[in-house]
Chains A and B, each alone.
Chain A
């Protein structure tokens, strides 16, 4: 085994290790956004290491052109898709926090099946002051929620 093959093998195994780390992180991380953060690693760094390994192993110019094409495509598309997914996850997270104050939101929350500890903590923390509040504060909180919720809804209606 020559030196180039050895370097190619190390790059291939390192790229595979990135995929294993992403899989473990997607399985173990508690939140959707941290899962997305970990899932972007094999798409950019892992693919780059694997392409380095294949380019060192095969080495013809046509193959290197295809490999550079794959790497450039991943570099362009992986942040865009991660951004789109994170935007949806962020809106769902803020929806959970906003609707945790109202009664129907608290009733609708278990049906979504979120077993994240952050969402459960937010519900229990938000329920206690709501029980102590008088009607004036409740109305004020509802008005705040509507004022907060409308700019969130409007860009959605445009699309």
Chain B
């Protein structure tokens, strides 16, 4: 499980780094919203990975909340984005 934690952690860190770069230099606000969505999905994955490695299921509730929060944030951004363009 230590090897799993190391390999999956490196993969998650690479994905989060790429998404963070896109979040900083997104040409449009839509790209930033997409990068934030990917970052939240990676955050859910990290929480779940820590729960799997440590063997405790307490942090899975946080994963539920974060996945719902990602949907609310993405839908809210999609509603708000056309206003500041026109």
Chain A, residue nearest B44 (CB): A47
Complex contact B38–A66 (CB within 8 A): no
Given A58-B55, A73-B64, A88-B78: A16 touches B8 (CB 8 Å cut-off)? yes
Number of B residues contacting the other chain (C-beta, 8 Å)? Answer: 51
Contact B68–A66 (Cβ < 8 Å): no
Interface of B is mostly: helix
- Residue A22 interfacial (CB < 8 Å): yes
Cβ-defined partner of B38 (8 Å) among A23, A32, A51, A57? A23
Q: Which residue of B lies closest to A54 (CB)?
A: B52
Query: Once A and B bind, how many residue pairs between them come within 8 Å at the CB atom?
Result: 181
Whether A23 contacts B74 by the Cβ 8 Å rule is no
Do residues A92 and B28 form an inter-chain contact, with CB atoms below 8 A? yes
The reply to whether A156 and B11 contact each other, CB–CB distance below 8 Å, is: no
Choose one: B45, B63, B82; the contact of A19 (CB below 8 Å): B45
Measured CA separation A47–B8 after assembly (Å): 13
